[in-house]
Structure 1
Amino acid sequence: MKIIGLTGSIGCGKSSLSDIFRKHGICIIDADIKGREVYENKEVLENLYKEFGEEIKSSDGRPDRKLLGKIVFSDEKKLEKLNDITHPAIRQMIEDDIKAAENKGEKAVVIDAALLIEAGYTSICDIIIVVTCDEGTQIERVMRRDNCTKETAVSKIKSQMSQTEKKKYADYVIDNSGTIKELENQAEMFIEKFEVDYFGK
């Protein structure tokens, strides 16, 4: 089974490409979903409350993720602490899903992760796809998606690894500056090439 890593900067359309792959019957492991599910892990919760205090606990007993986000957004050391607590558990969940897909006989699986490179998943991937788009389109998409100002959108973009840096890790780059139809065409071209290169179809 081949493992495909899919990543891209905020606003570039990584999730749109992931949805297209899913429609083609490719197994998707969504790291964002795992990132939410990790807050149901008892050991993770204990470590979070120990590190950040009971004040981050909401009325339902779960962490207030918005409050936690505010705490770590402006403090790099606290962000590192949060990552140290959550990332190993998220990685374990992803590796469990990879094993499950392999046991089901899947030919390929896509790990859809915004922090694919930063979190060190490149080492387990056979191929890396990076989704990109032009800067103007990226800013517009972030403003529309998050209902924020241009300044806020630019700040969010700059807080992440740049598109240029991400592309250095790519085996395959898909430019999503255009329409969804153009993205679908590029996705289909990738699938055809992937099947020929890896499975001789």
Structure 2
Amino acid sequence: MLVIGLTGNIGCGKSSLSKILEENYFDIIDADLISREIMNNSDLLKEVFDTFGDNIKRNDGTLDRKKLGEIVFNDDKKLIELNSLTHPAIKKEIIKKINNIKLNNKDIAIVDAALLIEGNFLDLVDKLVVITCNENIQLERIINRDNITKNEAMSRINSQMSQSEKIKFGDYIIDNSGDREKLIYDASKLITHIKEKWCE
């Protein structure tokens, strides 16, 4: 079975591309969804609260992701600390989902993960698709989507590996600086490439 990684920085449209691929009957493993699900694990959640304090805990005992984000996106050391807690659990779950897809005799699985490179998940994939976009467009998208300030958006962008660095790891690059129609067109070209070049 071919396992394809899909990655890209915040605001570049990775989730939009992932959705288009899912609509074209590809099996998607969503690392962001997994990271939310693993926070239901009481042991891991306790470790996160112990590390970052009870001010990130809501009244009902659940995690306030916004408050946690404010801490880690402004402090590289805190982000590394969070990732060291969560990444092993995320990786384990991704492997489990890849194996489930394989058991169903599928030909392709796509791992959708923003931190696929930084999280040391590259060994799980055979090919890597990197989605990029113009940095001004990226900034505008994040501010509008997340309703945050320019400085907050910049903190999130700067917390990730640069787009130029990510591109070096890619087997296939999509520039998503255009509109949705252009992304749909580029997705169809990617699908053709997968079927004709990578599934031989």
Tell me how far apart the structure 2 counterparts of residues 45 and 194 of structure 1 sit (CA, whole Å). 38
Q: Answer yes or no: is the 8 Å Cα contact 2:76–2:159 preserved in 1.
A: no
2:82 aligned residue? 82
Indicate whether 1:136 and 2:136 are aligned.
Answer: yes
Q: CA deviation at 1:151?
A: 3.9
Q: CA deviation at 1:78?
A: 2.7
Tell me how far apart the structure 1 counterparts of residues 56 and 149 of structure 2 sit (CA, whole Å). 28
Indicate whether 1:57 and 2:60 are aligned.
Answer: no
Cα distance per residue 1:80-122 (max 9 Å; x no partner)? 2222211111111111111111111111111111111100111
Cα distance per residue 1:155-193 (max 9 Å; x no partner)? 432232111111000000011111211111111111112
- TM-score scaled to structure 2, two decimals? 0.91
Following superposition of structure 1 onto structure 2, how do residues 46-195 of structure 1 map, counting pairs within 5 Å?
Answer: 46-195=46-195
Cα distance per residue 1:49-104 (max 9 Å; x no partner)? 33334454322222232232233333333322222211111111111111111111
Q: Which letter does structure 1 place at the counterpart of 2:27?
A: C
- SS of the aligned residue for 2:59 comes to coil
Indicate whether 1:17 and 2:17 are aligned.
Answer: yes
Consecutive unaligned residues of structure 2, counting only runs of 5 or more, are none
Tell me how far apart the structure 2 counterparts of residues 154 and 69 of structure 1 sit (CA, whole Å). 13
- SS of the aligned residue for 2:32 comes to helix
Tell me how far apart the structure 1 counterparts of residues 74 and 197 of structure 2 sit (CA, whole Å). 44
Tell me how far apart the structure 1 counterparts of residues 111 and 38 of structure 2 sit (CA, whole Å). 16
Q: CA deviation at 1:23?
A: 0.5
Tell me how far apart the structure 2 counterparts of residues 175 and 116 of structure 1 sit (CA, whole Å). 18
Q: Which letter does structure 1 place at the counterpart of 2:62?
A: R
Tell me how far apart the structure 2 counterparts of residues 115 and 88 of structure 1 sit (CA, whole Å). 13
Tell me how far apart the structure 2 counterparts of residues 51 and 154 of structure 1 sit (CA, whole Å). 25
Distance 1:93 1:137, change over 3 A: same
Tell me how far apart the structure 2 counterparts of residues 157 and 57 of structure 1 sit (CA, whole Å). 25
Distance 1:186 1:55, change over 3 A: closer
- Alignment coverage as a number of residue pairs: 200
Q: Which letter does structure 1 place at the counterpart of 2:78?
A: K
1:5 aligned residue? 5
Percent identity of equivalent pairs = 47
Consecutive unaligned residues of structure 1, counting only runs of 5 or more, are none
Cα distance per residue 1:4-35 (max 9 Å; x no partner)? 11011111111110011000000001111011
Indicate whether 1:43 and 2:43 are aligned.
Answer: yes
Query: For structure 1, which segment, 56-65 or 168-177, has the greater mean C-alpha deviation from structure 2 after superposition?
Result: 56-65
Q: Which letter does structure 2 place at the counterpart of 1:156?
A: R
**Superposition CA RMSD, Å:** 1.7
Indicate whether 1:198 and 2:166 are aligned.
Answer: no
Q: Which letter does structure 1 place at the counterpart of 2:156?
A: K
Tell me how far apart the structure 2 counterparts of residues 150 and 51 of structure 1 sit (CA, whole Å). 28
